[in-house]
Amino acid sequence: MNRQIVKLFGFIVVLFGILVGFTSYWAVFDAKALKEEEANKRPLLEQQQIRRGRILAADGTVIAKSVAKGKGDALRFVRRYPEGALYGHPIGYSFVRQGDSEFEQFHNDELVGEESEFSSILDELRGRTQEGNDIVTNIDPVAQQIALEDLEVEGFGAVVAIEPSTGAVKVMASNKSFDPNRVPYELSKLNRNVIETPLLNRATQGLYPPGSTFKVVTAAAGLESGAITPETTIDAPGTLEVEGQPLNNDFSEDFGPIALDTALTNSVNTWFGQLGQQLGNDRLFETMEKFGFNSTPPIDLPDDEVYESGVYGEDGPLSVRDPVDLARVAIGQERLLATPLQMAMVAAAVANGGRLMKPQIWKRVIDPDGRTIDSLDPSEYSRPISEQSAEELTTAMEGVVSEGTGTNAAISGVAVAGKTGTAETPGNKACGGGIDENQAWFIGFAPADDPQIAIAASVECTTAFGNDAAAPIFRDVAEAILNGE
Amino acid sequence: MSSARNRELFALVPVAILLTAGFAGVFAQESTRLDNLSLIYGAYFLAVCVATHIYLRIRLPNADPYLFPLVALLTAFGLVMIYRIDDSLAGDQANWFVIGLVLFALTIQFLREYEVLERYRYTIAVGGLLLLLAPRLPGIGQQVNGAYLGIKIGPLAFQPAEFAKIAIVIFLASYLREHREVLIVGARRVLGVTLPPLKHFGPMLVVWGASMFMLVFIRDLGSSLMFFAAFLALLYVATGRFSFVVIGMAMFTVGAWFFASTVPHVGDRVEIWLDPYVDPTGTGYQILQSIFAQADGGLFGKGFGQGLITIPGTDAALLPAAQTDTIYSLIVNELGLFGACGVILIYLLIAARGFKIALLARDGFSKLLATGLTAVFSIQAFVIIGGVTRVIPLTGVTLPFISYGGSSILANFVLLALLLLISDRARREALEPGGRAPAGGRA
């Protein structure tokens, strides 16, 4: 029997080995995924025993802070948002039961002072308790407030303002917003509100037809590829037959042979439609993708809360190989959808001499002792166009504001470059299904000769045009930021 | 002669130090100041252990020197963990430990000639089965989480399965000792599979039937699995026929599958095991929280006393049944993968010593009894640790010597006493003139 006993012991060794294997899997190899599991409240519970760091606006205004509740073992910290709905987007919320979202989620590790296992052991030996770091954002509170107030007047929509040279996000407003302080009490009610969708950050998750604002991208592709120069003229009739359907200018106006600045100033559809066809898929998609289309924008928000822009087929954005109606993509129609963040990135890239910087909301991380332990190092995302193309495009975009379709964006004493857009969205359920609904846009930057700020403003469910609904928001927000400097 | 006992005594010292350090750790955590109370607890524990050691020195001078210190280590570890969860529970557990040691001494005192057990094997078997049935008896039976595991007489709650496992192992060891020859010789090959002789197949079917019965009647998958695995282990050791084990496993699987699909509680346990995320706040809560607690532990753990057991500021459990079922998860949480490996290693060392005793034993009954006791002990540890790590469905058996629970402590001390009795005789016989020296031992 001894041989069998030894084998039985071997079997027990194997069984215990399996236990060690599974324990290792849960405790070490799969630990990260388990901590991110929705049902796992442990990380949040532990974190609420840590004083989570504050989130501050660029001027030091407190956007989020933690207050202590209870004593001894029951001591815990609860999140407070003194400014309420103003920063509902993009800051989000962080609560034990409801979880976290947006900026609070993305910067969680810094806010709770997460450290490597080794250094936290050292801290423990030294008797230090874990404390969270503060994060200062780039958000300009005055401009943020103006953006949200203007949106409230117009209805639903979003505004994104980016400093072109650094990618610093100075405004990200989305209406309807929500008061994060109410999340513990009415999260499910907020979730059920499918008309106002207050939890949706329209700046990063709102996918809208960009309309004529996309002509900036088409023009950039034309200039950059050498297909056109600012002097190249294209005959622009009142109507163009494309794919069996007429493509019209406003009032079917016939412009004759015109160059880029006239075409952009008057937002001539037939001119850009032909340019798009001339460019072909390869050249148009190459420029689009360099501007950030067809990828998740590189912003400091959770990936699942930032949507890709692109020509949407049934399974998401189409690639360069898919057949598309190029003439209509070129004027921002077809199945093209873009987020306000994406269009702000387009404006910012043109403003920054063709260099697109990664948009970032955070600016500095400050430890509990008041030392800055990390600060934003602006980095380039791509170079969609050359400096020369950017200058040529800027000149054309200045025409839009000075004498074209976007005059309401003008700021006295400051040259503004921009582009309006008005996409017809009849039957949009979010707007109640009316047939006159538009998505009104304005993208642009100022001052045109030394851009300090690039902005995209987008208004949902409006009967007005881009110049009437969106351009004034651009102007108010740009003025607030320029005056603040 | 007493070198084995000297080794035992030396091995107890680190155990007492560990216990003292553990209590000191809890005090430091709770009150941020060191209390000499931890030293007093450590001293009490050491005194009780030394008393037991002296008793062993007199009664079983040749018994295995490592088993008692290993068990003391587990108990000390369990006491500290339970103290850290709830100090009043630790007081109870310490009392059970002392009562357990008394029972341990009584077993050694009155079962020196443990082969008398063979004479009463059917009585013991029937007693074991009755114990298992008791939780279904009206008036004293108790249902916990859908399983019938406990009985309650007056203020005393009691888990009879803990004692039944010893009774059944005694019966099986005795039965198989007598019938192993015929089971081997009478076996026939049918279609390339070696089948046991039909005549002796009956009792095996009875054991299978008892396991299935437990599944249906007691609704306890864990105990059922534990008993049947111990049975198969013994059958294999007694006959050397691996095919019997395969047949037995097939029978168990078919039966378990059948009853899992017909008996609600058993089926639920299996479904939760397969996909706990279906109802993460309800039925899947315990296993998910168990795994989340482990994920939080990492390599080194959060530190002793640092883990969360309840949701702060409330009494709501974050790790349900932390002092019993999921105590292993708390160990991983606070002491990390390394701490948990340490615990598993102790169980493995106990298993190694137990099987060593079986190897040294001369007669068939002693061999099979030592094998069965060691197997059922190891498998119990596997069933509960495997349950909380989602290797198998989570069921309510205790982690021997660590989990809170009087029945478990008492029964396992009886089990330990039997092992030491077998060991003492085996080593004594090996030392006698004409006998061979125990492998690796020093005379």
Q: Is residue A7 part of a domain?
A: no
Mean pLDDT to the nearest integer, B166-187: 85
Q: Is there a contact between A408 and A243 (Cβ–Cβ < 8 Å)?
A: no
Interface pTM (ipTM) of the complex? 0.91
Distance in angstroms (rounded) separating the CA atoms of residues B365 and B116? 11
pLDDT-based confidence at B442, cuts 50/70/90?
very low
Residues in B closer than 8 angstroms to A6, CB to CB, are: 355, 359
- Which of B160, B149, B274 lies closest to B222 in space, CA to CA? B149
Strand order across the A169-175 sheet: A169-175, A157-162, A453-462, A438-446, A417-424
Instruction: Please give the full DSSP string across B403-439, using - where no structure is assigned.
Output: SS-HHHHHHHHHHHHHHHHHHHHHHHHHHSTTSPPPT
Residue B102 CB partners (closer than 8 Å, separation 6+): none
pLDDT above 60 for A64: yes
Q: Is there a contact between A467 and A267 (Cβ–Cβ < 8 Å)?
A: no
Nearest CA in chain B to A10: B352
Query: pLDDT at position A126, please?
Result: 53
Can you name the residues that pair with A65 across neighbouring β-strands? A80
Distance in angstroms (rounded) separating the CA atoms of residues B218 and B224? 9
**Interchain contact, A74 vs B313, CB within 8 Å:** yes
Q: Is residue A63 part of a domain?
A: no
Q: Is residue A370 part of a domain?
A: no
Query: pLDDT at position B256, please?
Result: 82
Q: Hey, is the C-beta of B341 within 8 angstroms of any chain A C-beta?
A: yes
Range with the lowest mean pLDDT among B18-27, B296-305, B381-390?
Answer: B18-27
Distance in angstroms (rounded) separating the CA atoms of residues B418 and B111? 8
More confident residue, B201 or B302: B302
Can you name the residues that pair with A311 across neighbouring β-strands? A336
**Interchain contact, B386 vs A18, CB within 8 Å:** yes
Q: Residue A248 in 3-state DSSP?
A: strand
User: Nearest CB to B312: which of A35, A45, A117?
Assistant: A45
**CA distance to partner chain B, nearest, from residue A161 (Å):** 40
Mean pLDDT across chain A: 91
**Interchain contact, B318 vs A45, CB within 8 Å:** yes
Q: Is there a contact between A328 and A266 (Cβ–Cβ < 8 Å)?
A: no
pLDDT above 60 for A124: no
Residues composing chain A:
485
Residues composing chain B:
443
Q: Is there a contact between A363 and A137 (Cβ–Cβ < 8 Å)?
A: yes
Q: Hey, is the C-beta of B313 within 8 angstroms of any chain A C-beta?
A: yes
Q: What share of chain A is helix, strand, coil (3-state, %, to 5)?
A: 45, 20, 35
Q: Is residue A125 part of a domain?
A: no
Question: Given the structure tokens 């190092």, which residue do they identify?
Answer: A377
Distance in angstroms (rounded) separating the CA atoms of residues B294 and B292? 5
Q: Which two tokens stand for residue A326?
A: 């190029």
For A266, B78, B237, B238, the CA distances from B173, given in Å and listed in that order, are 98, 30, 10, 9
Question: Tell me, what amino acid is at A262?
Answer: T
Q: What is the distance of C-alpha A172 from the center of its chain?
A: 8
Q: What is the per-residue pLDDT across A167-202, written as a single tens digit (0 to 9) for each?
A: 999 999 999 899 999 999 998 899 888 888 999 999
User: A residues 23-62 near B, CB within 8 Å?
Assistant: 23-24, 26-28, 30-31, 34-35, 37-43, 45-46, 48-49
Mean pLDDT to the nearest integer, A102-106: 95
- Which of A219, A327, A220, A323 lies closest to A269 in space, CA to CA? A327
∠ CA A404-A406-A409, rounded to 5°: 135
Residues in A closer than 8 angstroms to B312, CB to CB, are: 45, 48-49, 70, 73-76
pLDDT above 50 for B127: yes
With b for 16 or more beta-carbon neighbours within 10 A and e for fewer, the B92-108 pattern comes to ebbebbeebbebbbebb
Distance in angstroms (rounded) separating the CA atoms of residues B415 and A148? 74
Distance in angstroms (rounded) separating the CA atoms of residues A293 and A271? 23
For A138, A475, A480, B140, the CA distances from A349, given in Å and listed in that order, are 18, 19, 21, 79
Q: Hey, is the C-beta of A245 within 8 angstroms of any chain B C-beta?
A: no
Residue A271 CB partners (closer than 8 Å, separation 6+): A234, A236, A255, A258, A263
Query: pLDDT at position A409, please?
Result: 93
With b for 16 or more beta-carbon neighbours within 10 A and e for fewer, the A436-475 pattern comes to ebbbbbbbbbbbbeebbbbbbbbbbbbebbbbbbbbbbbb
Q: Is there a contact between B430 and B436 (Cβ–Cβ < 8 Å)?
A: yes
Most confident of A43-57, B128-142, B402-416: B402-416
Q: Is residue A393 part of a domain?
A: yes
With b for 16 or more beta-carbon neighbours within 10 A and e for fewer, the B40-76 pattern comes to ebbeebbebbeebbeebbeebebbbbbbbbbbbbbbb
Query: pLDDT at position A304, please?
Result: 93
Q: Hey, is the C-beta of A14 within 8 angstroms of any chain B C-beta?
A: no
pLDDT-based confidence at A42, cuts 50/70/90?
confident
Distance in angstroms (rounded) separating the CA atoms of residues B21 and A251? 88
- Which of A106, A108, A63 lies closest to A87 in space, CA to CA? A63
More confident residue, B151 or A315: A315
Query: pLDDT at position B439, please?
Result: 46
Q: What is the per-residue pLDDT across B344-395, written as a single tens digit (0 to 9) for each?
A: 999 999 999 999 999 999 899 999 999 999 999 999 999 999 999 999 988 8
Distance in angstroms (rounded) separating the CA atoms of residues B294 and A19? 13
pLDDT above 80 for B26: no
Query: pLDDT at position A211, please?
Result: 93
Query: pLDDT at position B37, please?
Result: 66
Distance in angstroms (rounded) separating the CA atoms of residues B211 and B243? 20
**Interchain contact, B389 vs A19, CB within 8 Å:** yes
- Which of A479, A68, A335 lies closest to B312 in space, CA to CA? A68
pLDDT above 70 for B435: no
Q: Is residue A24 part of a domain?
A: no
**Interchain contact, B389 vs A6, CB within 8 Å:** no
Give first-to-last CA distance, chain B, whole Å: 7
Query: pLDDT at position A121, please?
Result: 58
pLDDT above 70 for A485: no
pLDDT above 80 for B253: yes
Residue B153 CB partners (closer than 8 Å, separation 6+): B140
Q: Which two tokens stand for residue A86?
A: 């103003």
pLDDT-based confidence at B440, cuts 50/70/90?
very low
Q: Is residue A147 part of a domain?
A: yes
Residue B296 CB partners (closer than 8 Å, separation 6+): A31, A35, A42, A43, A46, B302, B307, B333
Nearest CA in chain A to B309: A42
Residues in B closer than 8 angstroms to A4, CB to CB, are: 236-238, 240
The structural domain count of chain A equals 1
pTM of the full predicted structure? 0.67
Distance in angstroms (rounded) separating the CA atoms of residues A417 and A352? 12
Q: Which two tokens stand for residue A237?
A: 């009739």
Mean pLDDT to the nearest integer, A335-359: 96
DSSP character at residue A355: P
Residue to test with chain B: of A19, A28, A48, most B Cβ within 10 A: A19
A–B CB contacts, 8 A cutoff, strictly below: 147
Can you name the residues that pair with A44 across neighbouring β-strands? none
Q: What is the per-residue pLDDT across A206-234, written as a single tens digit (0 to 9) for each?
A: 999 999 999 999 999 999 999 999 999 99
- Which of A105, A96, A83, A89 lies closest to A184 in space, CA to CA? A96
Which domain does A257 fall in, by range?
141-181+195-359+383-483
Q: Is residue A29 part of a domain?
A: no
pLDDT above 70 for B323: yes
Q: What is the per-residue pLDDT across A406-417, written as a single tens digit (0 to 9) for each?
A: 999 999 999 999
pLDDT above 70 for B426: yes
Distance in angstroms (rounded) separating the CA atoms of residues A425 and A460? 9
Alpha-carbon dihedral of residues A297, A303, A307, A313, nearest 10 degrees? 110
Distance in angstroms (rounded) separating the CA atoms of residues B373 and B71? 14
User: A residues 315-334 near B, CB within 8 Å?
Assistant: none
pLDDT-based confidence at B135, cuts 50/70/90?
confident
- Which of A94, A93, A58 lies closest to A76 in space, CA to CA? A94
Q: What CATH number is associated with residue A233?
A: 3.40.710.10
Region of residue A432 (phi > 0: left; psi between -120 and 50: alpha; otherwise: beta): left
Count of CB atoms situated within 10 Å of the CB of A163: 24
Query: pLDDT at position B317, please?
Result: 83
Q: Hey, is the C-beta of B308 within 8 angstroms of any chain A C-beta?
A: yes
Distance in angstroms (rounded) separating the CA atoms of residues B302 and A122? 12
Q: What is the per-residue pLDDT across B63-77, written as a single tens digit (0 to 9) for each?
A: 999 999 999 999 988
pLDDT above 70 for B200: no
